[in-house]
Structure 1
């Protein structure tokens, strides 16, 4: 009877450890972040074009 209690205790501890470890075994690493849709170059270039157009219009108006 004592052997049955020891086996039950060992199996209970083993089951508890497995219950803690099994979820982490199946865990997946998070997906990497998506690349940025714009690295700022297009925005900077758009601002530069607008400023050049403003400079061209001002030059035309002044002359």
Structure 2
């Protein structure tokens, strides 16, 4: 398979990945609070987000080179 065919197949995957990342940036704003409440997220949530991004990158790379 030549490089132009790989690019044609990889483009939709990369576009969907970028669209998913753009959707993450449209999160909800913080509500005003009267007292400090400490940390709002734990390390588990951050770890899951990083794992999701790495899995999407691995999927895209696998799809490109397959």
Give the TM-score, by structure 2 length: 0.42
Higher Cα Rg: structure 1 or 2?
1
Bigger helix fraction: 1
Between 1 and 2, higher relative CO (CA 8 Å, sep ≥ 6) is seen in 2
